[in-house]
Each structure stands twice: as C-alpha cells, then as structure tokens.
Amino acid sequence: MIDIKFLRQNPDVVKENIKKKFQDEKLPLVDEVIALDEELRKTMAQADQLRAQRNTMSSQIGALMREKKIEEANKVKQEVADIAKMLPELEAKETELQAKIKKDMMTIPNIIDPTVPIGKDDSENVELQRFLEPRVPDYEVPYHTDIMERVHGIDLDSARRVAGNGFYYLMGDIARLESAVLSYARDFMINKGFTYVIPPFMIRSDVVTGVMSFAEMDAMMYKIEGEDLYLIGTSEHSMIGKFIDTINPKENLPYTLTSYSPCFRKEKGAHGIEERGVYRIHQFEKQEMIVVCEPEDSKAWFEKMYNFTVELFTSMEIPVRTLECCSGDLADLKVKSIDVEAWSPRQKKYFEVGSCSNLGDAQARRLGIRIKGENGNYYAHTLNNTVAAPPRMLIALLENHLQADGSINIPKVLRPYMGGKAVIK
C-alpha cells in the first residue's frame, strides 16, 4: 500500500506506475482517493472545530452558573447538546470515508522498482543468468507421475476418490525423497544463519489482507466456514503476520527466518496439460525464507535471497536459470521479483520452482510493522523467497536424475536424509 501523502503529492507518478502495470482500469482510483481524502480532512477539521467549541462552551456553563446567569447558562447548554448531536454524524462520515480510502489504496498497485522491465505478462519476463549445463538425455524422459508410478511412489486414483482432483498420496521412496528435500532445505537455510520456524497454518482476515491483494486472496485462500480464519497458501503469510502491530528496535534487525508449512491453494482457473500431475495442486509442503529489514538494506537482501535458491538447486545438480518478472507479471504489492526456474529434460525448457520478492514497505504499512529509530518510527521492508516447494522440486529431481534403466539417482547432498540410499529403483 502506497503512502497516501506520496499519492497526494505525486498523483501523476502513481498513475504512470498503474499504466506500466497495464491496469488502466485502476487509473480513476487515484483521483477518487484524492477527492475522498480532501473530503475526509474537511470532515475531520469540522469535527475538531466542534469539539473545541464544545469544550469552550462547557467551561463557560460553570462560570455562568456561578454568576447566577441561569438563562444564559441554559442557552449554552442547548448549544452544547446540539453539537453533541452533530458529532456522531461527522464521526460516522469519517469512518465511512476512511474505509473507502483504505479499500481504494489497497487496490492501487505498489510503486515498482525503476529497474523492473516493462511488459504485459510473464511472456515478457527477462532471463538474467543460467547455472549448470542443461542436459537432454538420448533416452525418453516420461511424465513425472509416470516416473513415480513406476517406482510405486504415487497414488492419484485413491486421492481423487478421497479428496478430488489436485491431491495425491506420495508413497515409499518418493515420499521419503520429499521429506529429504525439506529437511535438506531447512538445514541449508539454518547454515545461512536463518532461524527455523514452524508457524500457524491458519491466519485471521486482517493478516490475509495485510500480506496480499484482494485479487490474490480470492484466487488462493480457503476460508474456514463460520470462523475468521483462512488456511495459509504459503508460510510467508503467517511469518509476516508474526510482526503485526509491532515496533521493532533498530538494533534487532534484520529478522531472518526460514519456515516450514503445508500450503493450501484454490488454484482457480484452467491449466494446461503440463500442469497436471503434481505441478499445480491444492495441498503441498514448502520451505520458505522471509526477511524483515531496514529499508536501505532490502535490495541487498533481495540479491542474497534468490541466490540462496540458486545455490540450493545447483547443490542437487539441477540446472536453473533466473528470470526477472516484468511489470505486468508483478503482484500488486511487489516492488521487484525474480523467479528461479529449473530445467526440464522432458520438455526441453525451464519451469518455475521458486520466486523471490521484495515488497518494500507495502506489507509493513498494511500490518503496522515499524522500526523504532532515533528520529521516530518508520516502516520496515519485507521480503520472501521460496527455498523449496517439493512437488515442483520433485519434478526437477526426477527428470534431471532419471537414468536410462528407469532408476533415479539421489543427489549426494540428499543421501544422508535417505538413510544413505544412492538410487531409487
């Protein structure tokens, strides 16, 4: 959420940013906010004036009574009573205007970083760098669920009967491999100095609207019927929510945390054939990293964080590339975002396995996450990044380590988490 003072002083900058994100339908919101804000300030000034007038008159009543000027005192009392009737109307108007302004401000996209490439959608994202040489074997690489089924590692039919499409049972060594990836990712981040956390898997609505846009919320979140609780779509939601309405001593920052959680997503809309199997599902596990830091440090942390993901994947001998998200592909709260994509020998192309985002002070402003500085309090910056999301990580592992005989080599870094096993046959 943008600072309303910034919008008030720089409406053209905000409008140009909306255009860069190809969201022209939101342009009228800028002028609407300015008009509502002006009306709110006038209403507040009028209410303050009436309160001051009421206080002055109230003190006059006592003086008039002492002077036995009963008629004049009663007249002033009536005027105070009239003011008392007017104030609730003005206060209700204030509340209504504040709600309208907040709704509009939470719909207007955040100001993107000037280095973000301009483009309409993910087809215009920009490749930055490749790591490890992509491999295309001279034998067929089957679809990932076929690979799993050959080693009795997945049961989709039973899952459909139990929960419907978008769910699965992982079995045997494949289930163990997923746990190995998560354990390795956890220890990898701990060794980078991050604190390991297992957060709540449900959050309240004020946290949901603090960490994401309304559009994302509608497309992703499952609500618990009859309660003000939502299942998290990623542990970033509850991890950033951990700092709601806090004032954090400057010397305590940055907070560097890595969190494990199951994740639950609606995944609305139809998806292509490459997104069946375990690519896009309603329930999965994930290791995440989040940073809460000083505003001037967020760019440096952004670089560090996505490079951690690159290092993690290459340590498992999986070729990856980094891709900068263009303006039209950025979620509304994001300032800048870089995706990490893994190589698919079967498709002979890269696919997304992680995303690193700098949200500036957008989440902090919505949730009230402030830093106590020497010259007053100010908003922190928040960042998040995928360490490992095993469903897609499993696809990358299986395809890149599949052998001609159908066996799967286990990367050396994962073998200690697999009881020393080197191959799945």
Amino acid 77: pLDDT: 78
Q: Give the span between the Cα atoms of 404 and 137, in whole angstroms.
A: 8
Whether residue 368 is contained in a domain is answered as: yes
Whether residue 110 is contained in a domain is answered as: no
For the chain, which ranges sit under pLDDT 50?
Answer: 270, 272-274
**Residue where one domain finishes, among candidates 58, 77, 105:** 105
Task: Give phi and psi for 417, each to the nearest 5.
Answer: -90, -5
Amino acid 62: pLDDT: 66
Amino acid 88: pLDDT: 86
* CATH number reported for the structural domain that contains residue 260 in this entry: 3.30.930.10
Amino acid 56: pLDDT: 77
What does the block give as tokens for 395?
Answer: 């696809």
Amino acid 269: pLDDT: 52
Regarding whether 181 and 67 lie in a shared domain, the answer is no
Regarding whether 317 and 174 lie in a shared domain, the answer is yes
Regarding whether 148 and 55 lie in a shared domain, the answer is no
User: Is the Cβ–Cβ distance between 397 and 177 less than 8 Å?
Assistant: yes
Regarding whether 132 and 89 lie in a shared domain, the answer is no
Regarding whether 155 and 42 lie in a shared domain, the answer is no
* CATH number reported for the structural domain that contains residue 17 in this entry: 1.10.287.40
Regarding whether 389 and 313 lie in a shared domain, the answer is yes
The closest alpha carbon to 365, from 279, 263, 295, 273, belongs to 295
Q: Return the SS3 of 145.
A: helix
Whether residue 269 is contained in a domain is answered as: yes
- Do strands 336-344 and 283-293 pair parallel, antiparallel, or not at all (unpaired)? unpaired
Amino acid 320: pLDDT: 98
Domain that holds residue 209: 122-424
**Residue where one domain finishes, among candidates 70, 105, 140:** 105
Regarding whether 138 and 61 lie in a shared domain, the answer is no
The closest alpha carbon to 305, from 286, 292, 318, belongs to 292
Q: State how many domains the chain has.
A: 2
Distances (CA, A) of 361 to 16, 93, 243, 379: 20, 29, 13, 6
Q: Give the span between the Cα atoms of 307 and 319, in whole angstroms.
A: 13
Look up the pTM and report it: 0.88
Amino acid 87: pLDDT: 84
Regarding whether 86 and 136 lie in a shared domain, the answer is no
